[in-house]
Chains A and B, each alone.
Chain A
Amino acid sequence: MTMLLIGVFLLSLLVITAIAIVRSEDLFSAVMLSGIFSLLMALNFFLLDAADVALTEAAVGAGVATVLLLAGLRLIPPKEAPGRPLRALSVTVIAATALLMIYASFGQPTLGDPLAPTQQHIAPWYIEKTPELIDIPNIVTAVLSSFRGYDTLGEVFVVLTAGIGVMFLLGGGRGKPFSRLDSQAEQGLSGHLIPKVMARLLIPFILLFALFIQFHGEYSPGGGFQAGAIFVAGIILYSLVRGEGLALSVIPPRALLLMSAGGALLFGSVGVAGMLMGGNFLEYSVLAENPVIGQHIGIIVIELGVGLTVTGVLLSIFHAFAARD
């Protein structure tokens, strides 16, 4: 009951924040509010037992997305033009649809109903078979990387494609997606003592935590997607404090490209390796004598591929925005 009330409180805050985002004319405060929105969303996910999703939302939504929006905001006018007044037609349509959906919600199973149709379908099979077939504690990781590996492969390629798109739009000349990146060597916030000292204390731990999330993802909440986002957050913090130039000398543009494409390629080649060893595409059981060990090898390698791609793509996107002037 207490948890339910905390949930109701957090969800109400979520709605208030969303309205504030839509209403604020200053884009800077809208971006900051969207960071708060993501953090509240992550708390809600955590209350709803989705630890992995909460971790991802906190790292991606509240961390990386806010910084990316700010980096984009640097290049465009910070204020919204005074808008047209509320239009009666759109408000009516929106309100009617909202009421219709709320009416429809009375036919939904209540929160946490163990007899809901969602819980009857394939989920019990995943929960029952994971210890036997894959033998890792984190069922989310097992479903993500083994049972539904095709899905994840597709998502990784979508991330890569979006990264390539940003490179083409912002990267400059033909064939040189990063040509503008090295041009700037700002010193960042290095003149400010407190951010500098804080960042110096935090960055090693952020990077270490990212590696922990990456390689411990089979046993606790985590995996390649979260680890990539947290790693990117650490490097972005470094480049905010010490300047773009230094951050690019830590991970040079060429390495970023190799990571983005190499990660997706690594994922795909694990699938092909499964085929060469006599199984189906993305079947890990054939990778070793013992099918369970094969699953472990496959999952560790593809999670590494996911982590590399997410890190490479998100960092490239950040640098592409930051280097634009």
Chain B
Amino acid sequence: MKLLGLFNYWVFAVLLMIGLYALISKQNLVKKIMALAIFQSAVFLFFITMSRVDEGTAPIIQAGVANQIFSNPLPQVLILTAIVVGISTTALGLAIVVRLHEEYGTVEDNEILAMDRES
């Protein structure tokens, strides 16, 4: 029971490392961006895991219900805005990849580096 309560953290660790692994070992720049998104999602999961309180509900006050237990609203606020910022920065990264492809004709980082060294 105690161990199951830690499962979220293990998934956080595994997802974070899957993202990091793909980020450093994949050559394709689009894959790198998606890896960054996985890495980011892992952090989101970590925050939201910490916001949960047993027997709690989503932090919305219901009229006429006394002594409600609420989950922690603060991590939820931070992650809510971070998700929208995340998609904007992903789009920015993707735009850079598209421009790189127009200039170099490839989106593999080793080929781009090789071209840079030749010139």
Which residues of A are interface residues toward B (Cβ below 8 A)?
A: 4, 7-8, 11-12, 14-15, 18-19, 21-22, 27, 30-31, 34, 37-38, 41, 44-45, 48-53, 56-57, 60-61, 64-65, 68-69, 72-73, 75-77, 80-81, 83-84, 86-87, 90-91, 94-95, 97-98, 101-102, 105-106, 108, 110-114, 116, 118-119, 122-123, 126-127, 130-131, 137-140, 142-144, 148, 151-152, 155, 158-159, 162-163, 165-166, 169-170, 219-221, 223, 225, 228-229, 310, 313-314, 317, 320-321, 324
Contacts and interface: CB of A to CB of B under 8 A. Distances in A.
B83 A56 contact: yes
Give the interface residue-count category, chain B. Answer: 35 or more
Nearest to A103: B13
Interface of B: 2, 4-22, 24-28, 30-31, 34-35, 37-38, 41, 44-45, 48-54, 56-63, 69-92, 94-99, 101, 106-108, 111
A112 B80 contact: no
Given A41-B44, A126-B74, A137-B62, 8 more contacts: A22-B35, A69-B34, A69-B94, A81-B108, A90-B25, A102-B10, A113-B53, A139-B61
Contacts of A169: 92, 95-96, 98-99
A112 B55 CA distance: 8
Contact of A50 (B14, B48, B88): B48
A48, A91, A118, A317: most-surrounded residue (chain B CB, <10 A): A48
The 7 closest A-B pairs by CB, nearest first: A110-B5, A162-B88, A101-B13, A112-B54, A105-B9, A49-B71, A139-B59
B100 to A, nearest CB: 9
Most A CB contacts (10 A, CB to CB) among B5, B8, B54, B81 go to: B81
Contacts of B7: 7-8, 11, 111
B74 A123 contact: yes
A111 B98 contact: no
A77 B107 contact: yes
Interface of B is mostly: helix
B30 A27 contact: yes
A277 to B, nearest CB: 26
Contact of A56 (B49, B70, B84): B84
26 contacts: A7-B7, A11-B7, A12-B11, A15-B11, A41-B45, A49-B56, A50-B48, A50-B52, A50-B79, A61-B83, A61-B87, A81-B27, A81-B28, A94-B21, A105-B9, A112-B52, A118-B51, A126-B73, A137-B60, A139-B60, A140-B73, A144-B77, A159-B85, A165-B92, A169-B95, A321-B95
